[in-house]
């Protein structure tokens, strides 16, 4: 019974989020590139069965934060058999000593967290060595620390253009796909547009002007469970949503692992998200924000 209920809940949640993504995209200003937003279902700590169920609902892009967990899931027999067209996104901090392990993942689609030219060089050389000269280039994003918090990884914003230039000119095995940020948790939208998202928008403009790139070819990965609709409204093309699809994350040996008869507990931030979530009032107000590209 639990698995049947779980399947139904995950299926309904995926469809609900996809509908919200579609509606948020329709509210975007016409001045923004008309790129359909991509939903990345963040499946960290969740079992393969849940991923398969989301896949059955048409979901193809899945995100993982930890290399070892991604390696295990991507090579899981159930996922290999049931999800042949799955696209894995790596969205966690990548250490150089884990690059080779990550790049061996089958169906690796996008590494969203390149945060230095040195890391880009390592990923570039490893991809060439592991996949061969004739292989398709690996899609990467540059992670920017828009909030300036020491607890967050990512480039200082002022280093964005030079790092992207390095990837485009020096890393022939990589395809620069866009910019990514995590931003501060729990920002109150009644105060106005999220400044971290605005920062990423302005960095994209600098990158496009500096490298003569079309705006629609530089993606923006920003927005999570509590703020993905606002992120899409101001220009996100890639949103990373976990808890409202799969339920609260389950960490081993954690007080969070209390028995719960519901397959999908009421969504709540994972432990690192200690700040308050967006209020209903803020969610209503954010639809009426007029946001400029600059």
Looking at residue 251, its pLDDT comes to 67
Looking at residue 255, its pLDDT comes to 42
pLDDT digits (tens, 9 = 90+) for 228-258: 999 999 999 999 999 999 998 776 654 444 3
pLDDT digits (tens, 9 = 90+) for 55-78: 999 999 999 999 999 999 999 999
Q: Which of residues 217 and 269 earns the better pLDDT score?
A: 217
Looking at residue 253, its pLDDT comes to 56
State the pTM of this model.
0.84
The percent of residues in the chain predicted with pLDDT above 90, rounded, is 75
Give yes or no for residue 259 having a pLDDT over 80: no
Looking at residue 227, its pLDDT comes to 95
Helices (H), the chain: 2-26, 48-56, 67-74, 77-82, 99-103, 117-131, 160-170, 195-211, 228-234, 243-246, 280-286
Give yes or no for residue 270 having a pLDDT over 90: no
Domains and CATH numbers, the chain: 1-241 (3.20.20.10)
Give yes or no for residue 198 having a pLDDT over 90: yes
Tokens 């469970």 found at? 225
Q: Are residues 251 and 44 in contact, defined by beta-carbon separation less than 8 angstroms?
A: no
- pLDDT tier, 282 (very low <50, low <70, confident <90, very high otherwise): very low
- SS3 per residue for 232-281: HHHCCCEEEECHHHHCCCCCCCCCCCCCCCCCCCCCCCCCCCCCCCCCHH
Mean pLDDT of 74-95: 98
């Amino acid at each position: 019974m639990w698995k049947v209920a779980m399947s139904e809940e995950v299926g309904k949640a995926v469809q609900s989020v996809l509908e919200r993504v579609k509606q948020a995209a329709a509210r975007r200003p016409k001045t923004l590139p008309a790129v359909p937003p991509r939903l990345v279902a963040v499946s960290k700590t969740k079992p393969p069965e849940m991923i398969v169920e989301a896949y059955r609902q048409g979901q193809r892009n899945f995100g993982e934060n930890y290399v070892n967990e991604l390696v295990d899931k991507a090579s899981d027999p159930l996922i290999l058999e049931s999800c042949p067209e799955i696209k894995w996104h790596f969205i966690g901090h990548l250490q150089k000593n884990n690059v080779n392990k990550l790049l061996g993942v089958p169906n690796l689609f996008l590494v969203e967290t390149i945060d230095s030219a040195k890391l880009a060089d390592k990923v570039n050389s490893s991809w060439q060595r592991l996949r061969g000269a004739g292989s398709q280039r690996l899609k990467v994003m540059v992670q920017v620390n828009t909030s300036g918090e020491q607890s967050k990884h990512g480039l200082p914003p002022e280093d964005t253009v030079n790092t992207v230039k390095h990837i485009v000119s020096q890393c022939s095995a990589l395809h620069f796909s866009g910019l990514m940020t995590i931003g501060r948790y729990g920002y109150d939208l009644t105060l106005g547009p999220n400044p971290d998202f605005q920062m990423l928008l302005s960095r994209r403009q600098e990158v496009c002007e500096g490298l003569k790139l079309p705006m629609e070819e530089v993606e923006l990965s920003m927005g999570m469970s509590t703020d993905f609709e606002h992120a899409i409204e101001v220009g996100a093309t890639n949103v990373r949503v976990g808890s409202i699809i799969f339920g609260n994350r389950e960490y081993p040996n954690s007080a969070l692992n209390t028995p719960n008869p519901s397959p999908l507990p009421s969504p709540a931030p994972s432990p690192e998200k200690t700040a308050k979530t967006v209020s209903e009032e803020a969610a209503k107000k954010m639809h009426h924000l007029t946001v400029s590209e600059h």
